[in-house]
Amino acid sequence: MTAHLQDQPWLTSAATRAVFAALEAAGGPDCARFVGGSVRNALLGQAVADIDIATTLEPEVAFAAIRKAGLKAVPTGLAHGTVTAVSGHKPYEITTLRRDVTTDGRKATVAFTDDWSEDAARRDFRLNALYADLSGRIYDPTGEGVADALAGRVIFVGDPVTRIREDYLRILRFFRFYAWYGRDVPDAAAMAACTAEVEGLACLSAERVSTELMTLLAAPDPRRAVQAMAATGVLAQLLPEAVAGAVFQRLCEITTDPVVRLAGLVPVGADGLRTLAAELRLSNAVRDRLVAGAEAATAVRPDMSDQAARAAVYRLGPRAVQDALVQQRASVASDPADDVRLAALIAGWTVPVLPVGGRDLARLGVVPGPETGRLLKAFEAGWIADDFPADGHEARLRALLDPAFSPPPG
């Protein structure tokens, strides 16, 4: 029985059909099919983010065909067979069918082909070696891709060791796809191959590793995948200080944020997380967030008062305080009412701006200089301690200048 995709707006959109019409004008019917994630996710009733197309046309021919049709063509990777068409303001990545000629565990030298089975044979997992035509008919060259996807099985195409040695990133991709699509226990042959080839991960760039790791941690529930990584030695190879214990398990229950989950998985403090971020080549934004959350951990408590929470948010920032509180909820018991209260406060409170500055002090006779900074810091400390009052600022400044000064009541 032939499987078909049903009710897919991206499949029938004018933008998609324009791309197929451009390719078929150069290569005839069945020269192009959807491939990989869009087919798999549509089959499973899940959201489709990227639309990839495989074609029998060589890349230069595909590029010319797209331009001839009046669509924007981007030569994103002609040497590797890939061009991008932009239709209806959406990108469509188009790749010529390929077969591997040589591989070294990181990169492959490829030759183009017009054989769909050859192209499927070089892909990583059977549930990714799925194709579909414009009518929605699914093609399954391995004969097991549809069944795997529906059953939640992540199984390599052909021999797992061979697939891994072609590109060691496939070890991480196995666990990433298992986190997102796997059910029941992971495939035994894949696990054995990952264990045997774990040292090959050392040849991968930090950027490739971190992309897979963060995508894995963003899965709805990555716990079984992380446990499988630990069982094969992959986790220790990538993150020697990782602790996939009770705190991480709990963290995965209370947040889907991959940054917070990473901080819980590798509990090494602010300095350790700064080093980890550098080793994984994480973005500056992610690095700063990891470090800020760790630094905030000593300044917040799940049961702190509203006033203390406002002071922490002012000094540390709302994101750092929220991240630290989530981490603490995973490690210590907290009152759900406090969790709700603090989350609402952090989300709803507008952080105020220091209401005085150097000009205010100058008007009171303070000569600009180091004394100005000292007085402003003293004012700020008192203002925070009194829970950010909205008025009475000049009286507070005068009290700092003259300790004998008594501000008027009220």
Task: Please give the full DSSP string across 292-349, using - where no structure is assigned.
Answer: HHHHHTTT--TT--HHHHHHHHHHH-HHHHHHHHHHHHHHS---HHHHHHHHHHHHHP
Q: Could you read off the pLDDT tens digit of each residue along the chain, which spans 410 residues?
A: 468 888 889 998 999 999 999 999 999 999 999 999 999 999 999 999 899 999 999 999 999 999 999 999 999 888 788 999 999 999 999 999 988 776 665 666 778 999 999 999 999 999 999 999 999 999 999 999 999 999 999 999 999 999 999 999 999 999 999 999 999 999 999 999 999 999 999 999 999 999 999 999 999 999 999 999 999 999 999 999 999 999 999 999 999 999 999 999 999 999 999 999 999 999 999 999 999 999 999 899 999 999 999 999 999 999 999 999 999 999 888 889 999 999 999 999 999 999 999 999 999 998 899 999 999 999 999 999 999 999 999 999 999 987 655 555 54
Single-letter code of the amino acid located at 226:
V
First to last CA, the chain: 82
Closest C-alpha to 124, from 81, 92, 160, 77: 160
pLDDT at 347: 94
- 123 burial via Cβ count (<10 Å: 0-12, 13-18, 19+): buried
CATH architecture of 1-151: 2-Layer Sandwich (3.30)
The superfamily (CATH) of domain 158-238 is cca-adding enzyme, domain 2 (1.10.3090.10)
pLDDT at 79: 79
Q: What's the CA gap between 271 and 24, in Å, rounded?
A: 56
Q: Which residues partner with 91 through β-bridges?
A: 86
Strands 90-96 and 32-35: unpaired
The pTM (predicted TM-score) of the whole model is 0.88
Q: What's the CA gap between 275 and 277, in Å, rounded?
A: 5
Q: Which two tokens stand for residue 248?
A: 């991480």
pLDDT at 410: 46
pLDDT at 76: 86
Q: What's the CA gap between 402 and 242, in Å, rounded?
A: 55
Single-letter code of the amino acid located at 201:
L
Could you tell me if 263 and 294 are in contact, meaning their C-beta atoms sit under 8 angstroms apart?
yes
Q: Which two tokens stand for residue 315?
A: 């000094």
Q: What's the CA gap between 277 and 239, in Å, rounded?
A: 11
When computed from its CA atoms, the radius of gyration of the chain, rounded to whole angstroms, is 28
Q: Where are the domains of the chain?
A: 1-151, 158-238, 239-351, 358-401
Q: What's the CA gap between 34 and 51, in Å, rounded?
A: 7
Q: Where are the alpha helices (DSSP H) in 203-316?
A: 206-217, 223-232, 234-238, 246-254, 258-265, 269-280, 284-296, 306-316
